[in-house]
Amino acid sequence: EVQLVESGGGLVKPGGSLRLSCVVSGFTFSDYSMHWVRQAPGKGLEWVSSISSSGSYIYYADSLKGRFTISRDHDKNSVLLQMNRLGVEDTAVYYCARGALGLPVAATYFDSWGHGTLVTVSS
Amino acid sequence: DIQMTQSPSTLSASVGDRVTITCRASQSVSSWVAWYQQKPGKAPKLLIYRASTLEGGVPSRFSGSGSGTEFTLTISSLQPDDFATYFCQQYSKYSRTFGQGTKVEL
């Protein structure tokens, strides 16, 4: 069974940092691109960042302005999202998602999702 | 960025109704559109990809159509489990953007 389990969310003050983790199981991690998608409370879905299966290609939403860093650890079957200089606008549930097999990392849909981890940025 | 505009934002329907949700792209995305279902407090679930291909395990009452800039998701006979929010997503031209969602309610 494919599983994606996020962790690392929580309450952080504006300007602070958090590191999100997504541990996966049930599939060959190195075959798939991985992605983060967020959803602000009561809002729609917003793509955040993507990393290719090898880790060689990485993309970010323009709105992040260089504050986030995505990475993957093939030994631990995990994908990480380091978030710095957080603002209230970053408050959201952050979902880890798997890209479809065989599609480009930058142009794919998401065929499996984790349950999400809530990030709240507030003073 | 390619914008995806969904309509309606809210849809009131009854069990057994035929339901259609529309998504319009700001430029052609060929058939690179996916549809997701999301229930409160849960992660999105993939229903359809490449505009009309049903994901494994998804009931056949769900169908998708369209190409270019206009796409539709149809539920042929709404079931109690189908009351949820539905999102379209385009994955063309090295970008991926979502529609704002359509809530299907009783």
Q: What is the pLDDT of residues A17-32, one digit of tens each?
A: 999 999 999 999 999 9
Who among A44, A106, A114 is closest to B100 (CB)?
Answer: A44
CA separation (Å) from A107 to B58, B82, B94, B102?
Answer: 23, 28, 5, 23
* Closest chain A residue by Cα to residue B44: A113
Give A57-108 pLDDT, tens digit per residue: 999 998 887 899 999 999 999 999 999 999 999 999 999 999 999 888 888 9
pLDDT at A115: 97
How far, CA to CA in Å, does A78 sit from each of A25, A57, A95, A99? 9, 16, 13, 14
Judged by average pLDDT, the poorest of A64-68, A73-77, B40-44, B69-73 is A64-68
Alpha-carbon distance B27 to nearest alpha carbon in chain A (angstroms)? 15
Beta carbons of B87 and A106 less than 8 Å apart: no
Extended strands (E) in chain A: 3-7, 10-12, 18-25, 34-39, 45-51, 58-60, 68-73, 78-83, 92-99, 110-113, 117-121
Q: A42: exposed, middle or buried (C-beta count within 10 Å: 0-12, 13-18, 19+)? A: exposed
Q: What is the reported pLDDT for B74?
A: 98
Asked if A115 reaches chain B (Cβ–Cβ under 8 Å), the answer is yes
Determine the longest span between alpha carbons in chain A, in angstroms. 43
A100, B94: Cβ pair inside 8 Å? no
Top pLDDT among A65 and B23 is at B23
Across the interface, whether the CB atoms of B87 and A45 are under 8 A apart is answered yes
Residues 2-61 of chain A whose Cβ lies under 8 A from any Cβ of chain B: 44-47, 50
Q: Residue A65 in 3-state DSSP?
A: coil
Between residues B88 and A62, which one has the greater pLDDT?
B88
Instruction: Spell out which residues of chain A touch residue B55, defining contact as CB-CB under 8 Å.
Output: 111
Rounded Cα distance, B60 and B75, in Å: 9
Of B32, B44, B91, the CB nearest to A45: B44
